[in-house]
Amino acid sequence: MSDNQATGTDVMAIEVQGLSRRFGRHLALDDVSLKVPVGGVFGLVGLNGAGKTTLIKHLIGSLRPHVGNVRIFGTSPIEDPVTVLGRIGYLTEEDSLPRWLTVRQLFEFGRSVYPTWDDEYAASLCERFQLRPNEPLGTLSKGVRARAGLLAAIAHHPDLLILDEPSSGLDPIARRDILEAIISGISDQGRTVLFSSHLLDEVARVCETVGVMSNGQLLPPETLDTIQSQYSEWIIQSNVRPVISKALDTQGDGAEWSIVGPASMSEQADFPSDRVIEHRPMTLDRYFSARVHRSSDEQTEQALEVAS
Ligand SMILES: Nc1ncnc2c1ncn2[C@@H]1O[C@H](COP(=O)(O)OP(=O)(O)OP(=O)(O)O)[C@@H](O)[C@H]1O
């Protein structure tokens, strides 16, 4: 039975409200709010240093909010870490598995920590991931160790799987055949996944909703369906930078320009004197760059207004 069926309420798998975090003078998270419903697959994307890992560390309770609060299935990971961590599977990009353990000992550790650890499932994953139980984690290649980390993150059937750049250690075949299959499998079982990745094509294949982080802010998340149906990209030729009032973002080099805007923009009405040479469907890649570009411009404008 899901949390919501059990309680008759709309408990979110993840609920973050007004979360801000400073490291010294640097504002790493700036008033972040996020709701991920139970069963959702949420993609978190952003440039290096945007604040993704800092947000994730608050979700697992390894950082305490300075301002704002975090609830996982309605519970604070700071106030009740045992309950929250028991329901989370977590894989980070950092290669942090203890190297002195063998794969088998990693299983034993998992079994001792998680009451829901599933030996049979772990053994089947071990075979599928081509892991040898007696091999020390320290002698495995980075990619094989990343597979062991993934196994340790999911063999207790977590209600919420949090993957922070899991692909950095995995080769392309492992990413496609293992990671994507696991994410879809977990979501099919009504469990929740938060997936942070630089690989936008991968995010587009597995996630339903995507949130873009830019300089510590989380821009309003959108579903992939909305991104693809509500936005479009136009390539136009123009010797001057085109000014299109409804455009979300304009990027170019002085002769050819890429414009992103609402799919409802009309080539006749909205690009009157410019030559449209191509009208492309929206990709997550271009949407991401449009959002980050626009958000940086807005943040620069705000900083200039404050300074003047
Ligand atoms: N412990 C810390 N002390 C000081 N600054 C920190 C600390 N952790 C993170 N930061 C800073 O906070 C900002 C956000 O970092 P974070 O690791 O959350 O970004 P990210 O989006 O996960 O980046 P990446 O994609 O490179 O992993 C960065 O400017 C980073 O240098």
pLDDT digits (tens, 9 = 90+) for 118-143: 999 999 888 888 889 899 988 988 88
H or E element in which residue 276 lies: strand 275-281
Q: Which atom of ligand 1 is nearest to the CA of 213?
A: 21
Reported ipTM exceeds the 0.95 cut = yes
Q: How much is the mean pLDDT over the chain?
A: 87
CA of 51 to the centre of ligand 1 (A): 6
Residue 6 confidence (pLDDT) = 47
Is residue 217 lining ligand 1, measured as CB closer than 6 Å? no
Residue of 130, 125, 186 lying closest to 159 (CA atoms)? 186
Res. 266: pLDDT tops 60: yes
Distance CA 300, CA 273 (A): 30
Percent of the chain with pLDDT over 70: 92
Which residues 6+ apart lie within 8 Å of 198 measured at CB?
A: 45, 165, 167
CATH class entry, domain 12-215: alpha beta
Which of 158, 180, 156, 159 minimizes the C-alpha distance to 170? 180
* Mutation to probe ligand 1, out of 29, 53, 56, 212 (largest number of atoms < 8 A from CB): 53
- CA–centroid distance, 105 to ligand 1, in Å, is 32
Dihedral sign for Cα atoms in the order 284, 180, 84, 47: negative
List CB contacts of 283: < 8 A, sequence separation 6 or more: 200, 204, 233
Residue nearest to atom 8 of ligand 1 (CA): 54
Residue 47 CA, closest ligand 1 atom number: 25
**Token duo for residue 178:** 């293992």
Query: What is residue 308's three-state secondary structure?
Result: coil
Q: What pLDDT, on a 0 to 100 scale, did the predictor assign at position 294?
A: 78
Measured from the Cβ of residue 165, the count of other Cβ atoms closer than 10 Å reads: 19
User: What are the boundaries of each domain within the chain?
Assistant: 12-215, 226-307
Q: What pLDDT is stored for residue 254 in this prediction?
A: 80
Residue with tokens 């972040």: 32
pLDDT higher than 70, residue 7: no
Q: Is the CB of 54 under 6 A from ligand 1?
A: yes
CB 227 within 8 A of CB 260: no
pTM of the model: 0.88
How big is the chain, counted in residues?
Answer: 308
